[in-house]
Every structure is written in C-alpha cells, then in structure tokens.
Amino acid sequence: MAVVDTSTDVTGIGGTIEVEVGAMAHGGHCVARHEGRVVFVRHAVPGEKVRVTLTEAEEGARFWRGDVVEVLRPSEFRRIHQWKLADMLRAHASGRPPVGGAEFGHIVVPHQRRLKAQVFRDTVHRIADLAVEPGVCFAGSEDEPTGQRWRTRNAFAVTPQGHIAMHAYRSATLLPVRNMPLGVPALDALALWDWDFTGAARVDVATPASGSRPLVLVTPTPQTRVDEVKLGRLRTRIRQAANACGVDVSTGLALPGPKQFLPVKVERITGKTWVEETVESERGGTKRFRVTGDGFWQVHQHAPATLVDAVLEDARVEPGQVVADLYGGAGLFSAYLADAVGPEGRVYSVEASRRASKDARRNLHEQPQASVLNGPTDKVLGSWLKYPERPVADGGLGGAALDTVVLDPPRAGAGRRAIERILALEPGRIVYVSCDPASFARDLAWLRDGGYEVERARVVDLYPDTHHLESVTALVPAAQSAPTAAVVEI
C-alpha cells in the first residue's frame, strides 16, 4: 500500500488528512468527517481508518472530496483491486490518477451488494421518507465472485495519438488502456488497443453476449468530420484494422446530426450497422433482438434475461390485459409482455428515440398485439388522457383502461409530468425499473402521494465492481397493498 507521512494533517487541495470512514453514499463515496466538515471519500470501505488526499477542499465549501492513498486500518471486506489501472493505492504510488469506472473493485463482491442495498435503502428513506428493505440478487444463474467479464457495452475516449483510453474520475486526463477486465472476453479478442483511431473522439463497442458479430462504432472529432481527407483516412484505418484483427467484426462511423437533438447517423464501414442480441428468459423463453448502432441495451451479459424475469414476475400480466411499456427502447420488455397478454390483449411500447422505435417495430413485427409509439413519454400519456377513445390503430387506448404500466426511464428518472399522467391513468399495477436510486426515490414520493404503495422492491447487481445499481419495484394502489408490510423481501 502507498506510504504517506501520517504525522500532520495538511488541508487544501493536494493536502492529506486522516479520517474514520462512515457509511457509503450514493455515487460511490463514503461519508467521513474532518473537524466537523463532511468529506466524501472514494476508494474506501465503511469502518476503515484511512489517509485521504483532498481533491476538492475550498475553505468555505460545505463539503470536501478526497481519495484514499493509505489504509491505516483495513476493513475485513477489502481485497486487492481487480484492475491495476483503477486501483487508487497503486495509482497514487505511481504518481498518476486511476481510471474511473471500477470504484468498488477493492471490495469483495458480496459486500459490494450489501453496500448497494444500504445505499438504496438510505436514499429512498431520505428522499421518499419510506422505510424499504429490498431483496438483493445478481444477474444470471451463476454468481461472478470476481466481478469481472460481464460488460457487453463499452465506451472509450481516444488520445491524440489514436489510442483508446479512459478518463480519470472527474477529470479530462486520458489514460491509455490495454485491457478492460469488466468487459466480456470478446472485447479483448478485438485488441482495440492496437488499432489506430487517430482523428476519432470516441469508440463505442457492442459485443453481444450470444457471441454474434460485434460492432465497433467510431465517433470522429469535430475537426475530422469537416475534413473529407481526414475522414477518409480514418475510414481506411478502421477498415484495415477490422480486416486484420482476425475477428468477424462490424465497424462504422457515428456522425452527429447538424443540430443537437437530431439522431446520430451511422455510416457502415464493414459488416452491419446493428447487432443481434439473444435473450434466454426462464419465464418467457428465448427471443432475438436487433439493436442498431449505439442504441440502448442493458450492459451486463445476463441483465436482459434477469430483468425480463423480474418484470414478468412483478407485472403479473394475464391474457387480454392492456399494458404500457414506457421508455421501451428496442422492445425488450414489450416482446415478453406481448406474449403474456396474448392475441386478445394489447401492449404499447413507448419510446422517444426514432432509431430505437424502428428497432422495436422490427423486433415486435410478429406480435400484432404490440404497438410501437414513437414520442416523448409524457406527451403520449397526455394524448391518452386527452383522447381516451382514440382508436388503437391511431395509437390510442380505444377506450380501454391500463391494467399495468412498466417503466424503465433513463438515469434522470421519469419526472413529475410523466408520473402525474401515469397516476391519472390509474393503472392496477406499476413496475418501475431504475438505474438511479435518487431519481427513483423522487418519483416514488410522487407515486405514493398519488395513492400507490410499494409491494416489493429488489436491488439487482448488474454492475459488479462499480457503485451503480439497478432496482425493480412493484407498486399497487394503497387499497390493494398488504396491511402488515409495504415490502416483501426476497
């Protein structure tokens, strides 16, 4: 471990202090105190005594931030970090910052999950004023004790010399990488660290869990985009690298539209501009999905099946029912919900992204009971409220009531307008899939104000070795909730 002079505390940015580490907070920091001031500490484990280098320490600030550079009294749950480049202790000893994205790699995996459950519980209590004890589970049928080799979607920055890199935490500093321990083995097989990406700003890689053809999507720098010669050279280098890498790989350029909110254009270089994902669900069977370009898909190789099973269990959908799948993406949940409601039922897959909606139409084309509605969620919900008798063929409910709403919003959550409109539609059940406990807790408070109570909550560890967590929560009208407990632990 790094050796630091422990004789005197020195405050200010770059100074070091000694602290006792308290609880884990949302965002991957532990809470500590130094002379009455809160210090958010990264790379610690609750209960440890550590030396911290301050990274943000303005005199009048309400709180400071810092990184652990020496462990004076380690936790029983600390281990040697699984990724050398992300290890703060080794990085400090080498005089460099660590890469971001694996800030829990120094904690044994079972304790990572306990900490994530604690963060979920504390965040929901603080924001929604609700005591919830979630069940905790992991993705897939077999546990991953190392927390590695699970990630099918990876994004890299590019150095001026054309090498893939990752950012240091809260920094513009780029650190070239030659491996990615969180990624599935198919990522290493591409050996992207040997490709020349000069002229690119970003590289996104999709390596499907089923082993089908991966896709490398390259975003040029603004300077490269407007220079046809440079852009042509980048295309040539990518094509040559793809042909030489020994893996059947699709490649393309991601070209942003002329305006900020226009969709990114994907230009094919080799192979296809999309990947095929296979999902093997215990409750719903096996299905295949097409996902174009950098379209959203759960990053853990077992996440789609795990979440599908959780959603089907909590939604309790029956044949003939009407279900809304909000923020439906490429149609993952919609495809399985459509099977559950059967030909006499109806599923509405609502998605704002045009490209994702196009994928959803392809993925759902054999299920006529599924309708894909492209548009902002709150506007679609508003149209259902304003025109309740609009025909199904025109995207309306045709006078029917919603039996169940499933929503999987982005990290920012659904927001007040969407929540209020969900409440106005009065569904019999709500299943909320969330990747951010703070935005979920905010939305949950509004749902409870609107008369819904938590029936079950669970934390699913889809992001081992990181602070991120996923949750699946079932809510029902208060009159239907169990009188003795709001939450059933699984």
The pLDDT assigned to 485 comes to 33
Residue-wise pLDDT tens digits, 280-315: 999 999 999 999 988 899 999 999 999 999 999 999
Burial class (CB in 10 A: 0-12, 13-18, 19+), 368: exposed
Catalytic positions are 435
Residue 99 in this model has a pLDDT that exceeds 90: yes
Residue-wise pLDDT tens digits, 149-201: 999 999 999 999 999 999 998 888 999 999 999 999 999 999 999 999 999 99
The pLDDT assigned to 294 comes to 83
The pLDDT assigned to 260 comes to 66
Residue-wise pLDDT tens digits, 210-221: 999 999 999 999
pLDDT band for position 482 (50/70/90)? low
- According to CATH, the topology of domain 153-275 is OB fold (Dihydrolipoamide Acetyltransferase, E2P) (2.40.50)
For residues 206 and 244, what is the distance between their CA atoms, to the nearest angstrom?
19
Nearest residue to 410 (alpha-carbon basis) of 364, 384, 377? 377
The pLDDT assigned to 157 comes to 98
Burial class (CB in 10 A: 0-12, 13-18, 19+), 160: exposed
pLDDT band for position 486 (50/70/90)? very low
- CATH 3.40.50.150: which residues of the chain? 276-480
- According to CATH, the topology of domain 276-480 is Rossmann fold (3.40.50)
* Cut 0.85: pTM above it: yes
The Cβ of residue 319 has, within 10 Å, a number of other Cβ atoms equal to 11
For residues 42 and 104, what is the distance between their CA atoms, to the nearest angstrom?
9
Residue-wise pLDDT tens digits, 405-434: 999 999 999 999 999 999 999 999 999 999
When pLDDT is averaged across residues 136-157 and rounded to a whole number, the result is 92
pLDDT band for position 244 (50/70/90)? very high
The Cβ of residue 324 has, within 10 Å, a number of other Cβ atoms equal to 28
Q: Tell me the percentage of the chain whose pLDDT exceeds 90.
A: 89
May I ask the CATH class of domain 15-78? mainly beta
- CATH 2.40.50.140: which residues of the chain? 15-78
Residue-wise pLDDT tens digits, 363-414: 999 999 999 999 999 999 999 999 999 999 999 999 999 999 999 999 999 9
Q: Packing angle between helix 303-315 and helix 332-341, nearest 10 degrees?
A: 40
When pLDDT is averaged across residues 32-53 and rounded to a whole number, the result is 97
When pLDDT is averaged across residues 96-105 and rounded to a whole number, the result is 93
The Cβ of residue 29 has, within 10 Å, a number of other Cβ atoms equal to 21
Residue 140 in this model has a pLDDT that exceeds 90: no
pLDDT band for position 481 (50/70/90)? low
